[in-house]
Structure 1
Amino acid sequence: MEKTGSKIHFLPLFALATVPLIMVLGNSMLIPILPTMQETIGITKNQSSLVITMFSVPAGVIIPLAGFLSDRYSRKVIIVPALLLYGAGGVVAGLAAWLLSSPYWLIMVGRVLQGLGAAGTAPIAMALAGDLWKGASRAKALGLIEASNGLGKVLSPIFGVLLAMLFWYAAFFAFPIICILSAALVYFFVKEPKKTGPKQQVKQYLNTLKGTFKKQYKFLLTAYFAGAVALFTLFGFLFYIAQILEEVHKIDGLMRGFILSGPLLAMATTSYITGTKIKKNYGLMKTLILVGLALITLPLVINAFLKNPYVELSLLVVSGVGTGLMLPCLNTMITSSVKTEERGAIVSLYGSVRFLGVAAGPPIFGALMDTPRLMYLIMAGLSALCFVACWMWIAVKKQDKGGGDPYEKIEWDRKLLAMKKARA
């Protein structure tokens, strides 16, 4: 792997792309089987939504710690054990469902373990991609990684349904197999750049992060908010649609999986195209973020006044396109906004709020299911607020509109200034 980041090699990128692919399976593969789980083990709709929440909340809480450790030691030292813990949690949940007459509490233990493992996966993989590639190559790599994330969302409902045809808890046993494969790929094929210079002391490191947030807090908090809102809406909407398909339209099995995969396929395809086109154009990235938010907001408003399920699904596909426009742009802007020594923490905080958005979606949408118009209008208002925040506080300087990495430009200016002083 070249340290310049000028060329993307297939195997390292493929290995890193498996990490978010597996991470997203943790929720998306289980959403289609939640109604079956409710009926089989005798739990309520709210209890089944906690299967998603108890995965995402621990991940969201622990991700910042994983980011700090990856900055201080090594990205791979975090990613590989995290994947193995993720798989172990699947074994615990699967054995509970198989052997116990009342398995719910132990399934929750397994989901918490999976969430703790997930904390060291996708956000750290994004940070590592930022270390390995620069400029247009970085944008393309992050776009492909986000597309892999989206592809996981597309395939996982179908895989979940197919596995459930064997026995409803088969998905839990699939996790250790795929996690071991991903860990092996990362271990053998990703060559992490060596860290240069002495390790920062914890106090110094925290002061550096504090300084970064002090300078860029408007941009970072707005970008974090946008990522969380996009995934909160997507996963909440998917949970709502899965319940409606089961309870109202009596659609289950593989057909339900295919229906749920439609919006996710739109998101994955758009993420891939966006990542290959944005290059280093930060002005274009901001525009696509705003367009994406508009495409998320408008379908919510329309759905509030329509009751046609086919229209709902069609508009959800539009929301998927909007999410696919946003996420690669946010990934690139956040990853490029800081230097390598802080990238793990900054990107991990972004991953943390994304996880918390996923965690909040199903229970909140579930609680509002009986008043769908109110549900849609509240979510539309949240997305509209996010649009205004992004328009106001994701600022792009004139010199960055046509391309370039803002942080690298700052570093180069500092080096030139130091050279001039040395000559003087």
Structure 2
Amino acid sequence: MGVMGVSLISPALPTVREALAITDGQAALLVTAFTVPGIVLAPLVGVLADRYGRRAVLVPCLVGYGVSGAAVALTTDFTVILGLRVLQGVAGSALVTLAVTLIGDLYDAGQRNHLMGVNGAAISVGTASYPLVGGALASVSWRAPFLLYVVGVPVGLVAYRSLDDSDGRAHGLDYFRNVLAAVPTRRTAALYGTYVAAFVVLYGTLITAVPFLLHEAYGLGSFGTGLVLTSASAMTAVTASQNGRLSALASNDRLVAFGFVGYGVGLVGAFFAGSPVGFAVAILAFGAGQGVVQPSIDTATSSLVGAEFRGGVMSFRTTAIRTGQTLGPPLATAADAVVGYQAFLLAVGVVALVGGGVALAVVE
């Protein structure tokens, strides 16, 4: 559910821009409005989940996510639309946090790489299918993709029946101090910083720049754009599903570094592609990189503390992710105004290649 918040509407951004007579930068705000709340509220989600239990937080957020997302289709007032996306982002921040928190709760360290890979694959299947679905729906009407968010309501009811209502483990006003005292500071800061970097790259390039570039440079509509995004996300799903095996060959830190190299190869290749097909083939490497990065860093982060403080630690993870997701789109549209989307892809690709290569040289 969490990945629907952006991946469903990403291929529809050009269509929404034209229907509402707004600019690229304003259309990108549909992404930013969704991601900003998580920067501030994700830690609160972790506190509430650790204090009152996972179900008490997850179920209302699923229902609110579905209602606020679908309500966008009922208005053409851009200010109201942004407000609804903010509300949806508030609810969505809990979905991202609690998915990996529950995995950390239910499985021991030996199983987490495998289960984080399965979770990453499931996310990627959604990320792969939602752009295709969103693009197809946007070909009918810009409103149609937003109506699909209403599925959050029945999913919330299923979660209510499936999860237990046990109380949380953590109590007291010193919760945040105890969380910070429980984690290795330098290691944690490095992991959160990597989340920010990874999602600046993902949301600045694949989620924002690529749809506009495919529309402007290659003349692709929403459905064609969805196909290209789907190809990358499908590769992410395949790669993420193998994370358990990959973790037996290399540490999580080295896997993350390899993933950044994949980002770079994909983006540099996309810059030199001369056709939509070539672009789609090149971007497969980017998808593979994402499939390595996310489950590896999720496993490393969820293993920092025990169950008592895991909700808090993973909520700060969501803050880091939302920070990257928020910074990426305006960075892309600002770069387009100066050098264009293609040059932006090349620049980010080179930085990712160099950064990943340096990391491989220094981490064990």
Per the normalisation by structure 2, the TM-score is: 0.90
1:184 matches 2:149: no
- Determine the C-alpha separation between the residues in 2 that align with 1:78 and 1:252: 39
1:251 matches 2:217: no
The equivalent residue for 1:356 is 323
1:308 matches 2:298: no
Structure with greater Cα Rg = 1
- Determine the C-alpha separation between the residues in 2 that align with 1:286 and 1:382: 15
User: How far apart are 1:124 and its partner, in Å?
Assistant: 1.3
The one-letter amino acid paired with 1:349 is F
Task: Check whether the contact 1:128–1:192 (CA below 8 A) recurs between aligned residues.
Answer: no
- Determine the C-alpha separation between the residues in 1 that align with 2:273 and 2:287: 20
The equivalent residue for 1:211 is 181
1:175-209 residue CA offsets vs partner (Å, 9 max, x unmatched): 12x2123212322223466656xx43212x22212
The one-letter amino acid paired with 2:197 is V
1:221 matches 2:189: yes
User: How far apart are 1:217 and its partner, in Å?
Assistant: 2.0
Question: Structure 1 residues 253 and 211 mapped into 2: Cα distance closer, same or farther (>3 Å)?
Answer: closer
- Determine the C-alpha separation between the residues in 1 that align with 2:89 and 2:159: 20
User: How far apart are 1:301 and its partner, in Å?
Assistant: 4.5
1:266-306 residue CA offsets vs partner (Å, 9 max, x unmatched): 111111121x3256x595323322211222224445556x3
Task: Check whether the contact 2:35–2:326 (CA below 8 A) recurs between aligned residues.
Answer: yes
The equivalent residue for 2:171 is 200
User: How far apart are 1:232 and its partner, in Å?
Assistant: 2.1
Question: Structure 1 residues 223 and 159 mapped into 2: Cα distance closer, same or farther (>3 Å)?
Answer: same
1:271 matches 2:240: yes
User: How far apart are 1:110 and its partner, in Å?
Assistant: 0.8
Determine helix, strand or coil for the equivalent of 2:142.
coil
- Determine the C-alpha separation between the residues in 2 that align with 1:50 and 1:130: 33
User: How far apart are 1:260 and its partner, in Å?
Assistant: 1.8
- Determine the C-alpha separation between the residues in 2 that align with 1:386 and 1:348: 26
Task: Check whether the contact 2:67–2:153 (CA below 8 A) recurs between aligned residues.
Answer: no
The one-letter amino acid paired with 2:343 is R
Task: Name the % identity.
Answer: 25
Determine helix, strand or coil for the equivalent of 1:119.
helix
User: How far apart are 1:66 and its partner, in Å?
Assistant: 0.5
1:335 matches 2:302: yes
- Determine the C-alpha separation between the residues in 2 that align with 1:378 and 1:253: 24
The equivalent residue for 1:376 is 346
The equivalent residue for 2:142 is 168
User: How far apart are 1:91 and its partner, in Å?
Assistant: 3.2
RMSD: 2.4
Deviates more, 1:308-317 or 1:47-56: 308-317
The one-letter amino acid paired with 1:142 is M
Question: Structure 1 residues 210 and 184 mapped into 2: Cα distance closer, same or farther (>3 Å)?
Answer: same
The one-letter amino acid paired with 2:320 is V
- Determine the C-alpha separation between the residues in 2 that align with 1:278 and 1:219: 22
The equivalent residue for 2:255 is 288
Question: Structure 1 residues 254 and 187 mapped into 2: Cα distance closer, same or farther (>3 Å)?
Answer: same
The equivalent residue for 1:231 is 199
Task: Check whether the contact 2:261–2:356 (CA below 8 A) recurs between aligned residues.
Answer: no
Task: Check whether the contact 1:59–1:116 (CA below 8 A) recurs between aligned residues.
Answer: yes
Task: Check whether the contact 1:92–1:106 (CA below 8 A) recurs between aligned residues.
Answer: no
Determine helix, strand or coil for the equivalent of 1:168.
coil
1:36-70 residue CA offsets vs partner (Å, 9 max, x unmatched): 11111111111000000000111222111101111
1:298-331 residue CA offsets vs partner (Å, 9 max, x unmatched): 4445556x36345443332101101101111111
The equivalent residue for 1:141 is 115
Select 1:157's aligned residue among 114, 126, 131. Answer: 131
Deviates more, 1:148-157 or 1:354-363: 354-363
Question: Structure 1 residues 261 and 374 mapped into 2: Cα distance closer, same or farther (>3 Å)?
Answer: closer
- Determine the C-alpha separation between the residues in 1 that align with 2:187 and 2:74: 45
1:95 matches 2:74: yes
- Determine the C-alpha separation between the residues in 2 that align with 1:66 and 1:34: 29
**Aligned residue pair count:** 359
Per the normalisation by structure 1, the TM-score is: 0.78
Task: Check whether the contact 1:132–1:193 (CA below 8 A) recurs between aligned residues.
Answer: no
Select 2:312's aligned residue among 342, 345, 353. Answer: 345
The one-letter amino acid paired with 2:194 is A
Select 1:59's aligned residue among 9, 34, 38. Answer: 38
- Determine the C-alpha separation between the residues in 1 that align with 2:10 and 2:112: 32
